Chain A
Amino acid sequence: MSRDRSDKEKDTLKGTFTSVMLLGGFIALSWLGVFILFINR
């Protein structure tokens, strides 16, 4: 059982998934920030 968990931990890409989500969020927020600036001008 614990070996299964260890293998799972070895193969997982949850850090990658979280990282790309954060990256996407950063892009979206940057875009939105400048868009709001555009709307307000």
Chain B
Amino acid sequence: MTATVMQASAADNKRPFDGKDAKLVLAHLLVAFTALLLGGVAGVLQGLVRGGMIELPSEIGYYQILTAHGVLMALIFTTFFIIGFLYAGVSKTMGGKLLGVVSRMGWAGYVLMTVGTILGTIMILANEATVLYTFYAPLKANPFFYIALVFVVVGSWISGYGIFTQYRYWRRTHKGSVSPLFGFMAVATMLVWQIATIGVAITVLFQFIPWSFGWVEKINIMISRTLFWYFGHPLVYFWLMPAYMCWYICIPKIIGGKIFSDSMARLSFVLFILFSIPVGFHHQLMEPGIAPVWKYIQVVLTFMVVIPSLMTAFAMFATFEQTGRAKGARGLFGWLKTLPWGDVRFFAPFMGMLVFIPAGAGGIINASNQMNAMVHNTLWVTGHFHLTVATTVALTFFGVAYWLIPHVLGKQLTPRMNRLGIIQTIIWLIGMFFMSGSMHTVGLFGSPRRTAYTTYGDHPDAVFWMPYHVAMAIGGTILFIGVILMFCNMIALMRAPKGDEKTAAEFPIGETADAAEPTPKWIERWGVWVGVLVVLILFAYTVPFGDMLVNPAPGSKPWVTW
């Protein structure tokens, strides 16, 4: 059974954004980019220390700024940007404005997350929480660091409920229609987040908080790590899915084409729901205490989650080619020339897509058991996630910011701003080429991650790594220039000249190609997808997790090593 998909028209894309919703979106983006700036400062210092170029004053620790960098960039920048972006699209495509209750939930979530961010940042700056962004036990932070995390997660849950509420309202008032693609994908993304964060909520509430307050003496490290990675891998998809939303929905419109297939886009998101969660063991392949057969099963499931990314790659190429050929492109790759290379709204996300090719290939290597033994805990892994989240996702989010900020404010994306955006993207790519390229290479030579400057007593292997560490520092410095420019660009976008109907930046929502098959209604049976996901989670985790509970490791007292 199929149904009509609500299509956005050109007039919808240009329609002014609701003023009240604009404030909510901008509030999220402001925290996101402030976190990016602070995280960038921590990042460049860290790179310079590791490269042996500077020494930090004794009051600041290397691992302290490493924690700040990870938390502010990977957790705060991403989560705030994503929620701001999703609320913007939900408001735009599902009714033109948020329902009163949804807006209130959005603000409640925002306030909780911001309080958590401020509290967590204070704890890190006070050197009370130098536990890195993965906060592995038995490193023990001040209990208020974990409480700060609770604020962030609970805030994001409430924001998620807001998105679900608007979606349900839309469906109730549009019976018989398939929901707008943006709304569908926003729900899928927040669904992954809600289910994934259950793991981190359990470990923080029942393990870390009682243990850090001293109410219990010991913590079961195996269980805490397993619950963390139950959350940690879908976290990656929580970053990636909104980037894919830009690629599937906005990029076709920006390049003057159409969405290749609405059904395929939705199916890829359903596959992300099913396979992004029961895969955490591929981060624990080198850990004892998990039977190899369960690691194997989760690796197989990990390879399943490659499929929707490959589907996305196909859909992107097809969108580009169809659009180019409709404009008269000929030959095998003639369509490449028709893409709008001078438009930052396309250029930045496209470069993100391009970088996802080596990033994805690296991910497949990481998830392969034997090769994981070689790259585990080396700088290769750091290089890998600086391609995935810090380039593919970050550049896509930057690309979105160039139209989202002026659109919600009714302003223009001026040619000057566009040029600055292109320059920012190129700076980012150059910096990342040096930094991530060196990390990947020196990681294969065995240089460990999460390590301050050391020559290991001038051991020849460690001395051999040094030039790569210097290249990392140079790349990191170039990236820091990129961070500063991005922050300035964001301020400039907010101060851009007002636009009218013709000149204001549009919210690019693509239409589906005429030749695409209609979208089947069963794709929105959320109960079925969640049901299958629960079965997969129970299958992948019940026996090994039960084993950890029944035969627990001795447990560890807290350690404060800094």
Once the chains bind, are A20 and B371 in contact (CB under 8 Å)?
A: no
Which residue of B has the minimal Cβ distance to A20? B314
Once the chains bind, are A13 and B318 in contact (CB under 8 Å)?
A: yes
B446 CB to nearest chain A CB (Å)? 10
Chain A at the B interface: SS class: helix
Once the chains bind, are A34 and B358 in contact (CB under 8 Å)?
A: no
Once the chains bind, are A35 and B370 in contact (CB under 8 Å)?
A: yes
* B497 interfacial by beta-carbon distance below 8 Å: no
A13 CB to nearest chain B CB (Å)? 6
Checking A12, A26, A30, A34 against B325 with a beta-carbon cut-off of 8 angstroms, the contacting residue is A12
Once the chains bind, are B330 and A15 in contact (CB under 8 Å)?
A: no
**Which residues in window 296-349 of B have CB below 8 A to A?**
310, 313-314, 317-318, 320-322, 325-326, 330, 332-335
Instruction: State how many residues of chain A have any CB contact under 8 Å with chain B.
Output: 21
Checking B320, B325, B444 against A10 with a beta-carbon cut-off of 8 angstroms, the contacting residue is B325
A16 to B357, CA, bound (A): 15
Checking A14, A34, A41 against B365 with a beta-carbon cut-off of 8 angstroms, the contacting residue is A34
Once the chains bind, are B361 and A16 in contact (CB under 8 Å)?
A: no
Residues on A with beta carbons closer than 8 Å to the beta carbon of B374: 34, 37-38, 41
Checking B314, B325, B361, B370 against A9 with a beta-carbon cut-off of 8 angstroms, the contacting residue is B325
Once the chains bind, are A37 and B444 in contact (CB under 8 Å)?
A: yes
Once the chains bind, are B371 and A34 in contact (CB under 8 Å)?
A: yes
Given contacts A10-B325, A16-B321, A20-B314, contact A34 B330 (CB under 8 A): no
Residues on A with beta carbons closer than 8 Å to the beta carbon of B333: 15, 18
Which residue of A has the minimal Cβ distance to B334? A15
**Which residues in window 1-41 of A have CB below 8 A to B?**
9-16, 18-20, 23, 26-27, 30-31, 34-35, 37-38, 41
A37 to B310, CA, bound (A): 26
Once the chains bind, are A30 and B362 in contact (CB under 8 Å)?
A: yes
B315 CB to nearest chain A CB (Å)? 9
Q: Quick one: which of A12, A27, A35, A37 has the most chain B CB within 10 A?
A: A27
Once the chains bind, are A31 and B361 in contact (CB under 8 Å)?
A: yes
Which residue of A has the minimal Cβ distance to B361? A30
Residues on A with beta carbons closer than 8 Å to the beta carbon of B373: 38
A34 to B294, CA, bound (A): 24
Residues on B with beta carbons closer than 8 Å to the beta carbon of A27: 360-361, 364
Residues on A with beta carbons closer than 8 Å to the beta carbon of B360: 27
A2 CB to nearest chain B CB (Å)? 13
Checking B318, B326, B330, B364 against A31 with a beta-carbon cut-off of 8 angstroms, the contacting residue is B364
A20 to B360, CA, bound (A): 13
Once the chains bind, are B321 and A13 in contact (CB under 8 Å)?
A: yes
Once the chains bind, are A15 and B317 in contact (CB under 8 Å)?
A: yes
Residues on A with beta carbons closer than 8 Å to the beta carbon of B322: 13
B417 CB to nearest chain A CB (Å)? 31
Which residue of B has the minimal Cβ distance to A11? B325
Residues on A with beta carbons closer than 8 Å to the beta carbon of B370: 35, 38
Once the chains bind, are B371 and A26 in contact (CB under 8 Å)?
A: no
**Which residues in window 278-298 of B have CB below 8 A to A?**
none
A15 to B329, CA, bound (A): 11
Once the chains bind, are A23 and B313 in contact (CB under 8 Å)?
A: yes
A28 CB to nearest chain B CB (Å)? 9
A13 to B321, CA, bound (A): 7
* B368 interfacial by beta-carbon distance below 8 Å: yes
A31 to B364, CA, bound (A): 7
Checking A15, A31, A37 against B321 with a beta-carbon cut-off of 8 angstroms, the contacting residue is A15
Which residue of B has the minimal Cβ distance to A18? B332
Residues on B with beta carbons closer than 8 Å to the beta carbon of A14: 332
Once the chains bind, are A31 and B332 in contact (CB under 8 Å)?
A: no
Residues on B with beta carbons closer than 8 Å to the beta carbon of A31: 361, 364-365, 368, 371
Once the chains bind, are A23 and B364 in contact (CB under 8 Å)?
A: no
Q: Quick one: which of B321, B326, B373 has the most chain A CB within 10 A?
A: B321
A36 CB to nearest chain B CB (Å)? 10
Checking A16, A30, A41 against B317 with a beta-carbon cut-off of 8 angstroms, the contacting residue is A16
Report 21 cross-chain contacts, Cβ distance below 8 Å, ordered by A residue.
A9-B325, A11-B325, A13-B318, A15-B317, A15-B334, A16-B318, A16-B321, A19-B317, A20-B310, A20-B314, A26-B357, A27-B361, A27-B364, A30-B361, A30-B362, A30-B364, A35-B368, A37-B374, A37-B444, A38-B371, A41-B374
Task: Name 12 extra pairs, CB < 8 A, besides A30-B362, A31-B371.
Answer: A10-B325, A11-B325, A15-B317, A15-B334, A18-B333, A20-B313, A20-B314, A34-B365, A34-B371, A35-B368, A38-B371, A38-B374
